[in-house]
Amino acid sequence: MERKLVVGNWKMNGDRVRNSALLDQLVGAMPAAVDCAVCVPFPYLPQVGESLVGSGVALGAQDVSEFPEGAYTGDVSVAMLADWGVRFVIVGHSERRAMHGESDLTVARKAAAALDGGLVPIACFGETLVERESGVTELVLLRQLDALAANLSPEALQGIVLAYEPVWAIGTGRAATAEQVQTVLALVRRWLADHVPAPERVRILYGGSVKPETAGGLFSLPDADGGLIGGASLDAQSFLEICQAAGSAAQGN
Ligand code: 13P
């Protein structure tokens, strides 16, 4: 992919005042050479969506229901997100898998619902530290990816964004090394070759403690198409620097 994609995942952070201060610094300052999005908490979709109009930064959400409508208290449908101009939606973040018991099948169904409704799912997958240290990383990642392929046609799967987020690297300040990341991304690219018509056109992001200092190296990896940024996306300067690093990495490719 020539253009990198950098997505901020605000997680459960922010309020109207802080959002507005952050967006004031981001809008107008984003590098044009990079595709950017911010995935914000549901209540702030209208506020953030309005601020982003004409900015080139896309609006995203952090989760979505697999069901179209009905008696699902607390859930939000694809159509509701689309109604607010949402373009991207994260599915299967490890925090939701761990804290809300989301299975590989649920994540795949959410991805399918998003694609069906015209949104781009950013499907997260990744191993825990225990899994890495017991040598089952590849097995775990392929299990998570295979669930997507089992529930999506090759044509639908072509429209997904994948995000490799090793659980042990999330929020820990301990990003995976470039070598660890490239090993996984190459595995995923090979997996894609067996499942979609144009494997090189599916974006694979890396997420987990990406900081301005590490972003350039990670985004320059042969199979890295960008990043999913947690903590650093809440600081305008850091997020801008990470987006700029993605722009430079794209030019270097
Ligand atoms: P951090 O960048 O805070 O490690 O979070 C990564 C993440 O979970 C993005 O979805």
Distance of CA 179 to the CA centre of its chain: 20
pLDDT of 253 > 70? The answer is no
Which ligand 1 atom is at minimum distance from the Cα of 210? 2
What is the atom index within ligand 1 of the atom nearest the CA of 171?
A: 4
Mean pLDDT (whole number) for 49-59: 96
Q: Is 208 in the pocket of ligand 1 (CB under 6 A)?
A: yes
Q: Is residue 61 within 8 Å of residue 113, measured between CB atoms?
A: no
Nearest atom within ligand 1 for CA of residue 39: 10
How confident is the model over 7-16, as a mean pLDDT? 98
Q: Is 207 in the pocket of ligand 1 (CB under 6 A)?
A: yes
Quote the pTM value.
0.98
Tell me, using a 6 A CB cutoff, whether residue 230 lines ligand 1: yes
Give the distance (Å) from ligand 1 centre to CA of residue 239.
Answer: 12
Query: What pLDDT score does 2 carry?
Result: 81
Closest ligand 1 atom, CA of 90?
10
Angle formed by the axes of helices 137-151 and 178-193, nearest 10°: 40
Please indicate whether residue 165 is annotated as part of the active site: yes
Give the domains, in start order, of the chain with CATH numbers: 5-252 (3.20.20.70)
* 182-194: pLDDT as tens digits: 999 999 999 999 9
Q: b vs e for 92-108, b when ≥16 Cβ sit within 10 Å of the residue's Cβ? A: bbbbbbeeeebebebbb
Which residue owns the Cα nearest ligand 1 atom 7? 230
Residue 71 Cα to ligand 1 middle (Å): 31
The answer to whether 192 touches 1, Cβ cutoff 8 Å, is no
Residue 1 has pLDDT above 70, yes or no: no
Distances (CA, A) of 89 to 33, 39, 66, 70: 22, 7, 12, 20
Catalytic residue among 100, 131, 165, 195: 165
Taking residues 184-205, report their average pLDDT.
98
Taking residues 151-164, what's their average pLDDT?
A: 98
Distance from the alpha carbon of residue 8 to the mean position of ligand 1, in angstroms: 9
**Contacts with 25 (C-beta within 8 Å, 6 or more apart), sequence order:** 236, 237, 240
Q: Using CA positions, which residue lies closest to atom 9 of ligand 1?
A: 230
Q: What is the pLDDT of residue 252?
A: 75
pLDDT tens digit sequence for 77-129: 999 999 999 999 999 999 999 999 999 999 999 999 999 999 999 999 999 99
